[in-house]
């Protein structure tokens, strides 16, 4: 077994009185999240705690042009925040034998807004055109069990994704989206990887806790040091300084990406804990500057 030197940070749960001053102003921006119990997407203003239900969908990402891209009842769809009418980009065909055409799980939109990376229930990842849904890249050889999940885009148009049980690790694509190269230091089943906004770091879950490393695999750092937690879906702040993630009992926590004390959003805004009994944990959220 490979022994790794980790940087650990003490956890001080004391919070400042002013949410805007916590963790260097981490409570700012808009947080799109999914209530898994009702399969509905929400919009949370982190500066005020105001939460708005938008409509039914499994997952949501805000595109550079302000449109929402969702995994909805019909497949991969495009809509606005009213979520009344949608444009179906890629229909989910339950009768298809092609894994690229059914059971979509998570998605991410390219920096230029023209392409969508997505994965499916079989942990297979693809890239399609946002305009017409045509598959333009398959991130693993067709028919093989070596699959990738939660694809996220780097600023220069490459993709970072987690491997599977059969192909463990964290991988990055080439610019042509044809080759995936392992970048982690031989970690055992890291999952739910997400690349930082500047493309230099990757946050992920390892042994149920949040870790961060550089995109070349160096600088492995354990962000959450509470071994009683069960973390999921680490998500970067727009400025790359903080990481939000779901913790035990569905709590939403935010920590500095360099390590440090956590903000429990439920502690800051107690009304959320009664309105949103448990934050959904089956789909990654999206944190934007608006």
- pLDDT tens sequence for the chain (290 residues): 333 334 333 333 333 444 444 443 579 999 999 887 788 999 999 999 999 999 999 999 999 999 999 999 999 999 999 888 899 999 988 777 677 778 899 999 999 999 999 998 876 899 999 999 999 999 875 556 668 999 999 999 999 999 988 889 999 999 999 999 999 999 999 999 999 999 999 999 999 999 999 999 999 999 999 888 899 999 999 999 999 999 887 789 999 999 999 999 989 998 887 665 555 567 899 999 98
How much is the pTM?
0.88
Q: Is 272 helix (H, G, I), strand (E, B) or coil?
A: helix
> Where are the domains positioned within the chain?
19-288
Q: Give residue-wise pLDDT tens across range 148-192.
A: 999 999 999 999 999 988 889 999 999 999 999 999 999 999 999
Q: Is 99 helix (H, G, I), strand (E, B) or coil?
A: helix
Residue 197 has a CB neighbour count (10 Å cut-off) of: 17
Helix (H) or strand (E) segment spanning residue 268 = helix 265-268
Residue 21 has a CB neighbour count (10 Å cut-off) of: 12
Please state the φ and ψ torsions of residue 76, each to the nearest 5 degrees. Answer: -85, 120
d(CA 72, CA 60): 9
d(CA 146, CA 160): 15
> What is the second-level CATH architecture of the domain 19-288?
6 Propeller (2.120)
d(CA 78, CA 43): 16
């Amino acid at each position: 077994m490979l022994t790794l030197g980790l940087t650990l940070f003490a956890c001080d749960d004391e919070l400042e009185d002013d949410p805007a001053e916590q963790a260097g102003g981490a409570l700012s921006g808009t947080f799109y999240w999914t209530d898994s119990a009702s399969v509905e997407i929400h919009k949370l203003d982190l500066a005020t705690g105001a939460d708005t239900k938008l409509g039914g969908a499994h997952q949501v990402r805000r595109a550079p042009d302000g449109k929402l891209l969702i995994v909805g009842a019909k497949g991969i769809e495009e809509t606005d925040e009213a979520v009344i009418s949608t444009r179906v980009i890629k229909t989910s065909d339950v009768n298809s034998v092609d894994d690229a055409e059914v059971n979509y799980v998570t998605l991410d939109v390219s920096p230029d807004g023209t392409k969508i990376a997505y994965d499916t229930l079989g942990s297979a990842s693809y890239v399609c055109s946002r305009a017409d849904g045509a598959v333009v890249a398959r991130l693993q050889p067709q028919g093989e069990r070596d699959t990738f999940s939660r694809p996220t885009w780097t600023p220069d148009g490459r993709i970072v994704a987690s491997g599977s049980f059969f192909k463990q690790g964290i991988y990055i694509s080439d610019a042509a989206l044809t080759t995936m190269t392992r970048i982690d230091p031989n970690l055992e089943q890291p999952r739910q990887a997400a690349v930082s906004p500047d493309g230099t770091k990757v946050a992920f879950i390892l042994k149920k806790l949040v870790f961060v490393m550089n995109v070349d695999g160096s600088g492995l750092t354990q962000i959450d040091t509470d071994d009683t937690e069960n973390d999921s879906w680490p998500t970067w702040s727009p400025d790359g300084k903080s990481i939000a993630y779901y913790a035990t009992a569905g709590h939403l926590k935010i920590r500095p990406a360099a390590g440090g004390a956590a903000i429990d959003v439920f502690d800051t805004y107690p009304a959320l804990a009664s309105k949103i009994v448990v934050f959904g944990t089956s789909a990654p959220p999206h944190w934007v500057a608006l």
